[in-house]
A and B are shown apart, each in its own frame.
Chain A
Amino acid sequence: MAISTVARVGAMAALTALALTACSTGGSEAPGAAGGDCAPSDGPVTLTFTSWLPGVEEAVAIWNDENPDIQVEVQTGPNGNGGTYQNFFNQLEAGNAPDLGQIEFDAMPNFRVQDGLENIAACDGILEAEDQFVPWTWSQVTFGEEDAVYAIPQDTGPMAMFYRADLFEAAGIAVPETWEDYQAAAAQIREQGGYINNFSQSDINAFAGLVWQAGGEWFANDGEQWEVNLTGEETTQVAEYWQGMIEQDLVAVYPPWTDEWNAAYNSSEIWTWVSAVWGANTIASGAPDTAGKWAVAPMPQWEAGASAAGNWGGSTTAVLKGSDHPYEAAQFALWLNSDADALTAMNKTANIYPATIEGANLPVFGEGVEFYGGQKIYEVFAEAGNNVDPDFTWGPTMTQVYNDVADGFSGAVSGSGTLLEALQSGQSSTIDALKAAAIPVKE
């Protein structure tokens, strides 16, 4: 509805912006200069910040105490795809968007293409902050442009393998280090009546994490147009691997996030989950009877001895277009996502896993976790975070991609069609969607 017009304007604006990046140098203090300008406001300011992180108010309260002249008001709503992104676009259209908003990595290109983000590269200390963040997260907020920063990374979801250490040991199966081992283990586990994993038909971003690990890229942008590649070599490899697992009945296919899915883990039917760092709480909550029996190992590899990891989830704090106080907003965003107290507070209330390099060293991540037999599981995830390929690019219409591919995947798990066919149909529907939004795309 409203989007299409915004998109059309935004696409052009983005193109212009991309073409002009060479000119828009940071630090230009000239008043009224577009893009590169970022000067402090006079007098006290109040910023609005929309986030769906539970309890983010606690971290914000620390800032408000320390900065009486820059007060931040928290607004909330459902998670991004649950309505907040749509709200942001409505608000951008109406001109009353909040100064700051939480935006997940996979939604960033959508906002960039629709020109919903302020470039805060010229604001004090923002470009210099790059070194503080895990490398791949920074490339997600700059889109590879020079002198451009569109958000500050907040949290990440580096992936690893949760596995039932007790069951593997009792069955005498070695913990798989490659995907080949993993499939062999799957067959052995199946003989014992269990499943090695559950293939999620609806978490397409988790599948993207697996492709990410394999070195695949779904989107690319050369500054002029987008390229969609949902069926590249690596993606095909991953899709065929899991297709084989489904066809040989080596993985369960419960709809994820349901009671029966939880019950399958709780009853020890499923032995592993290749998931992100935040999944640690999901298992602990959904499968309470298995406490103490889990452990975490790096993701299985496509090449023996490699250490590639994928990522599933994570978000940023962006300064939305039209903010009257981009300087102050940028300072707050940087503080919120790099200050040890703020990160600790957000980890406590919302289990976030920080995007800063230093964040992995917070005391809370150095402790052993009882649910995982006392293992210091976050060491595995910190290592995984450093091994995530920085070149993976999300597309501007990820919600549509997820929906379209999920339709095909849910058919594939019940035997109609294959994962690869779902991706092929997703490929063409994505190109159509980009064209419909007047976003230039290579055919």
Chain B
Amino acid sequence: MKVRPVRGVAAIAIVLVTAMNGVAAPQTTLEFWTISLQPFFTDYVNGLVAGYRRANPGVQVKWVDVQFQAVEQKLLAAIAGGVPPDVVNLNVEFTSRIAERGALVDMDAAVPAADRAKYFEGLWSSGRFKGRSYGIPWYIAPPVLIYNGDLFKKAGLNVLTPPATEDAMIEAAKRVKDRARVYGFMPPLDGTRLMYLFLENGLPVLSANGKLAVFNSPAHVAYLQKYMDLFKADYFPDDTLRRGFTGAVERYSAGQLGMLLVGPQFLLRIKESNPEVYAKTFVAPYPMGKGRVIHAPLMALAVPRASKNHEEAGRFALYVTSDENQLAFSKLTVIFPSTKKAAADPYFRQKGTGPEWQARAIAVGELKFGRDLTVVVPNQTELFKIFREAVEGAFFGKMSAKAALDWAVREWNARL
């Protein structure tokens, strides 16, 4: 084990290692939180844990799997209660929000440069808060278009020529609703996901210096209005804004939705929920917007400052995100590693049959457009709530599209 001091870092900073074959401190128990990996990846995570224990005698790892919706609240409660996990899986939005509270270890300071260099720079810097990174990138999953071949046929659509653009997807969704009598899609409009759609369409959220909100231009308004018109005409269901991708996957799995825009890892859930629907499922590239960029959500591993095992926790996070372990994980579902070496593995260029292989091949092609587009701003909780309320206000008839975006921009600008 190689431990070296990191110059200029406060006492809370941790020192990590570059090798995994060291001798661990005796009788250390690490608590490792993941998000919604049970029951699909139970064996994989148990294997990871067992591997680490073998290589690090005396270190115990306790694995806790938390549901996505609960993880932020549970984490804050655990930190406040003095029983934080040592390593926790977070997305970029959660990471920046918790980092703002000063509750996470600065990974730029903690991880040696040689180790940082193993990760894609773009992923390492995703979600930097005040110029610092607080999570070690784990995996990304660029979204794909998943669609129900039977419903396409019922709607008179060609299964072999799926919509390639956002406008074509909207037209297909209308055909499915009009002819097959089920909803064609549930566009990703819940929470703050309209921000991603703006960015994917070349419509900025912030000014170049980050000091002004600019998402109320006529182009932004027209974009929002397009979806409001679809909603008014009942081309997507009213729980779209409330339940987001969870509701969409559930509806798709029940055979009640024509198309699904999610990460390819959700294919596994569809397969488990309803093999019949899975058998009718096709996969196509995500219909890209005018911005030629795709929001590819990044999962990261963070270390709470309140952990008593910073050093060991960092070592474990590097182990979980190592080339070998990420590659093994990527073979179980359609996700992609955050390390350059693992991503270069020939496995990702192999061909196979079935929707998952289809999805893998498509997603590989999308990686060059993929970025985590989460907008990182101070006071994120309040700003995001304002944005969400503006979008809901527009869709649910409280305000016009222009009034809603003007209001949100005004509120952001007073706070930025």
Tell whether A and B belong to one assembly. no
User: Which B residues lie at the A interface, using CB under 8 A?
Assistant: none
User: Which A residues lie at the B interface, using CB under 8 A?
Assistant: none
